[in-house]
Amino acid sequence: MDSHEREHFATELRRLRAHVGLSLGELAAQAHVNRGYVSHIEHGRRWPSRSVAAALDDALDARGVLLAAWTAGDRAAVPTVAVEVGSDDETLALPFDEWTTTDSQGLAERLATGSDRPLTLITARRLVHEWLAADIPQTVEITAGRRIGTGMVDAVARRVAQLRRVDDFIGGRELRPLVERELRLTAGLLREAAYTDQVGRALLSAVAELCQLAGWVTVDAGAPQRAARHLAVGVHAAHAAGDRPTAANLVSTLSYQVANLDDPQEAILLARSAAAGVRGRASATTCALLNERVAWAHERAGEVRHAERALAAAETEYERRRPADDPEWVYWLTEDEIIVMAGRCYVELGQPDRAIPLLTGVLARYDERQTRESALYTSWLAEAHVQAGDVEHAAALAQRTLELSSSTSSSRGDDRVTLLAQRLAPYHTVGAVREFLDHESEWRRGG
């Protein structure tokens, strides 16, 4: 691409943003685009897709000026993505502005079924933009005034599963608008549609699961109070549906968030209540997850023995798991995730010698396409190396955390980068540390 065309677009973007008085973060939020990505575009380091250019044009109320600048550029620079369209061996590469609803659903199914085909952050973002722009099945059913049945409930359940897989790739600031819209419109089915008692209970369970996901992505977007409200509503919905495991998951998710907000005793009460409430009534994998959150709450309170006991209970439960018994929402809990939680707990307890081998082993085989988790887990390893006194290694890991976090829209990732800067600041005379601190300062000014 001609560098003049790239710079012309970047100049127009900077001019228009200054004209309307939006910060970089505000523009990114309104366009549902990662702020680091927008920063790269503004500085001429990245060329946006047409859909991103259009989203920025809309957010700036540019009336097509920015989109015209994009059109003048090299269309060959628009990225393409492999989309499953037929048999396992059949793949089609499509430019972003040629995607159809069928293509979006194809990607969504790949996310929900755990396909081994390569997925990227940019393909998941494309799905988010497509779904934000389209009517969802819940809206269609309400508008049509039909009596809904199990088919509609199954469709909602599939969409919830798909959204959870999107959360593996997309940070909360980007995903939150889509999840909250899905929750709002699914709740609308409960209020406005006609259905049997059985379908009503299934819808209540779907609303509860959406509340859990909404609470998760909303705290990742940096809005913990709003997240707590989602989770509280979800608990009521799950109880109304008679769905104890989902209710326990919601309560333990709230516990995890309360623990991170420095109220560990309240978190312990919530986590232990969730685990006790489903004893003998939930799958082994579910019990492992609930015990992990008990461990985290005790760790945040500095209660070493209780934390270690809960970690051991989580490992024992996981060893007796039967996947056929598991609810869909526990799909992500793997042996590596169990190890990561143990490593994180040891970091918080100031035991780097126990944490470092656990986190190093997992990260060596972790899928970096799951960018947010890669950033978070790398940050814990970096912190462990600070505790161990290996500040040069810690600085290199902190730099990697910054690079990964810059391509996500996660408040949790941002917070971990800031924490690493605080941990490493006393060692600013070390060359590698100084370099990281300079990059972190530049990143903070840019967003």
Tens of pLDDT along 230-288?
A: 998 888 888 888 899 999 999 999 999 999 887 889 999 999 999 998 988 899 999 99
Q: Which residues of 428-445 are buried (b: 16+ CB within 10 A; e: fewer)?
A: eebebbeebbebbeebee
Identify the segments of the chain with pLDDT beneath 50. 1, 74-105, 107-108, 110-119, 121, 133-135, 139-145
* Residue 345, domain member (yes or no): no
Alpha carbon distance 184, 289 (integer Å) = 27
* Residue 394, domain member (yes or no): yes
Whole-number pLDDT of residue 130: 54
Q: Tell me which of 18, 46, 77 is where a domain ends.
A: 77
What is the residue range of 366's domain?
352-446
* Residue 392, domain member (yes or no): yes
Q: Tell me which of 77, 98, 131 is where a domain ends.
A: 77
Alpha carbon distance 302, 265 (integer Å) = 10
* Residue 26, domain member (yes or no): yes
Alpha carbon distance 102, 79 (integer Å) = 19
Whole-number pLDDT of residue 142: 44
Decide: residue 224, CB within 10 A, 0-12 exposed, 13-18 middle, 19+ buried.
middle
Whole-number pLDDT of residue 85: 26
Query: Is-contact 304 323, C-beta < 8 A?
Result: no
Task: Copy the structure tokens of residue 50.
Answer: 């047409």
**Domains identified in the chain, total number:** 3
- Residue 50: which CATH number? 1.10.260.40
Query: Is-contact 238 250, C-beta < 8 A?
Result: yes
Task: Copy the structure tokens of residue 376.
Answer: 């978070």
Which residues are CB-contacts of 441 (< 8 A; sequence separation ≥ 6)? Answer: 421
Residues 321 and 406 in one domain: no
Query: Is-contact 308 348, C-beta < 8 A?
Result: no
346, 352, 356, 362 alpha-carbon torsion, rounded to 10°: 10
* Residue 28, domain member (yes or no): yes
Residues 433 and 383 in one domain: yes
* Residue 368, domain member (yes or no): yes
Alpha carbon distance 97, 67 (integer Å) = 13
Phi-psi region of 64 (alpha: psi -120 to 50; beta: other; left: phi over 0): left
Residues 313 and 361 in one domain: no
Residues 364 and 435 in one domain: yes
* Residue 325, domain member (yes or no): yes
* Residue 167, domain member (yes or no): no
